[in-house]
Structure formats: structure tokens, C-alpha cells
Amino acid sequence: MRILVTGGAGFIGSHLIDRLMKEQQEVICLDNFYTGTKSNISKWYGHPNFELIRHDITEPIRLEVDQIYHLACPASPVHYQYNPIKTTKVSFMGTSNMLGLAKRVKARFLLASTSEVYGDPDVHPQPEEYHGNVNPIGIRSCYDEGKRIAETLSFDYHREHNLEIRVARIFNTYGPRMLENDGRVVSNFIAQSLKGHPLTVYGDGSQTRSFCYVTDQVDGLMKLMNGDHIGPINIGNPEEYTILQLAEKIRDRINPGQEIIFKPLPQDDPKQRKPDITKATTLLKWQPTISLEAGLTETITEFTQRLQGTQLTLSNIV
């Protein structure tokens, strides 16, 4: 099987590629390195089953593949809001190009959608039937509405052209290889604690999120891709925490004396989020296996090594 992973140099994409390579699939990683890094995939350079293509998906490309995992899109608010018009183009034009490619070569196409399609949800936990509460003109809209139109396009390709699609609604996922300056909450709190900086909680910290470890996420995506159900299907861990609880948990693991400071809550920040994973457990026979405690241990260990490595490299250069 030849498998294309768009956004393969990114956080989730590179873990997915590791799994696919270990299963001896032929993998093409396509990325423009906006938030992805070569170090995430460099261990596969030179492997006969691996190819890397530097390409921006807002431009069409012709390739011959059997499956497409379509992950290319910045995922952290800091990065997707940096150039919001580009984010919308990546979601619409990029997804349209990848669906066109899938149609031409009759590949199965999995869209990495998001819990953000539910917006600031007034139904809790969120089942797939919930249509969401999204602000169409706010600062998160480029991403939220971008993913909603990407879902719409995918379903219309399915209805109009019989394209085999799979739609995953990914909930907050964390783990090794998140960028230190990513801006997302787990990476921020770990990097801040390790550097001895105050942890920045936005708002009063009572908003909730549910955190899925990346290897569980990859497992869910692969089960969805290779199963019979189109979706959309929520892939996430239903263990729910307030952001203040998360800050305390990470702080106490790394640097118990560290101060927690409160900053303004960004516009349209969802107040609560937790996946209803009934569909994933019954239809895909998938459920998360890694607790937040265990996942944080892995993540903190990798961040510690990476930050020490950076300091070492810099001091060597100086």
C-alpha cells in the first residue's frame, strides 16, 4: 500500500508515519514545514519505503497513492491565527486539491477534522450529531469554519463521486514532539515549568479540555482509515480537566514552587470540551489506553531532553 500523509512532518503526522513505517507500508510525507520540522521525520531519510516531498497543498500535485491521511493544517491557535487567510485557504483549497487527487487515483481519503467544529459547545459531552456553536467571524473562525468546509467538501466528494472518505474529529492531543513555542496548553505549561517561568493560565482556568495521548490518537486514526465507517467519528480521551487543574498537575510534576499567573481569556475560547466516544468504542473498537499521568511522563521526559539538547547546541556554538 502506498500511503500519503499530508502534514507528515508535524506533531501527529510524524507519529503516524512512525507507525506506518513500522508496519512496512510505503509512505510519502508531504509538508511545507510551516509548523512541521525535518527532525520529526529525519530518522526515515534513506529508507527505501520513505519519500519526502516539500510542497504547499494550496497548489495541486499529481501522485499515485492508495490512501491519503490529510493532516496538513496548522493546529495551534497561535500558528493558525498568524496568517488566518492562509489557514482558510489551506482548509478549503488544500483540502480541495487533496480530494481531487484522491478522486483521480481512487484513493481512500481521511480528513483530520477537529472538535473545533463544535465551537463553544452548549451540549456536553459532544456527540457527533451535535452541529456546534461556531462564531463565523471571530479570530478562531479561519480554523473552525475551515475544518467545517473541509468536512462539507469531503462529504460532497463522497456523495457526488463515490469517493471513499473517513472523517475524524480529533480532540486535544498532546505528546512528544509538540513544538516548544507551539502555544498550545500542554506544551506551554511543560516548557514554562522546565524553564522556571510562571505558568500562564488564560481566564480563571475553569474552562475544560480532555487530553488524548498521541499514540492513542494515531491508533484511532488508523482504525478509522482501515474500518468500514465513514464518520465523522470523535477521536479523543474523555477524561476531562480544568485548565487550572492541568497547570497544577504539570507544575507539581516539574517545579512545585513555580508561580501560576492569570492572563486574559482569548476571544471565543470554548468553556468546556469532552468527546462522546460511543461511536469510536462501538464502531471502531477503539478507546484510549494512556492515562494523562503516563502521557505527561513521556512528554515531559522528551521536552526535558530536547530543551537540554537545545541549550547544549547553543552553548557549543557560542
* Shortest separation between residue 191's beta carbon and ligand NAD, angstroms: 15
Which residues between 14 and 73 bind ligand NAD (CB under 6 A)? 31-36, 56-58, 71-73
How many whole angstroms separate alpha carbon 13 and alpha carbon 11?
A: 6
Of residues 107 and 250, the one with the C-beta less far from ligand UDP: 250
12 binds ligand NAD (CB under 6 A): yes
Burial class (CB in 10 A: 0-12, 13-18, 19+), 116: buried
- The full 3-state SS of 96-109, as one line of letters, equals HHHHHHHHHHCCEE
172 binds ligand UDP (CB under 6 A): yes
Question: Pairing between strand 165-170 and 108-114?
Answer: parallel
134 binds ligand NAD (CB under 6 A): no
Q: Which residues contact 162 (CB under 8 A, 6 or more apart)?
A: none
> Which of ligand UDP, ligand NAD, none sits in contact with 114, Cβ below 5 to 8 A by type?
ligand NAD
C-alpha cell at 141: 473562525
Range in contact with ligand NAD (rule: CB under 6 A) among 126-134, 168-176, 268-276, 297-305: 168-176
Residue 97: CB atoms within 10 Å: 20
**Is the four-CA dihedral 144, 164, 171, 55 of positive or negative sign?**
negative
> Which of ligand NAD, ligand UDP, none sits in contact with 209, Cβ below 5 to 8 A by type?
ligand UDP
Q: Which amino acid is at 307?
A: L
186 binds ligand NAD (CB under 6 A): no
Match 474523555 to its residue by C-alpha cell: 238
Of residues 57 and 201, the one with the C-beta less far from ligand NAD: 57
141 binds ligand UDP (CB under 6 A): no
Which residues between 189 and 228 bind ligand UDP (CB under 6 A)? 200-202, 207, 209
Which candidate, 66, 59, 230, places its Cα nearest to that of 155? 230
Of residues 57 and 258, the one with the C-beta less far from ligand NAD: 57
Candidates 69, 80, 118, 143; catalytic one: 143
Three-state DSSP class for residue 295: helix
Of residues 96 and 217, the one with the C-beta less far from ligand UDP: 217
C-alpha cell at 96: 480541495
Of residues 130 and 262, the one with the C-beta less far from ligand NAD: 130
For binding to ligand UDP (CB under 6 A), which residues are involved? 76-77, 172, 184-185, 188, 200-202, 207, 209, 243, 266, 269
What residues are labeled active site?
A: 143
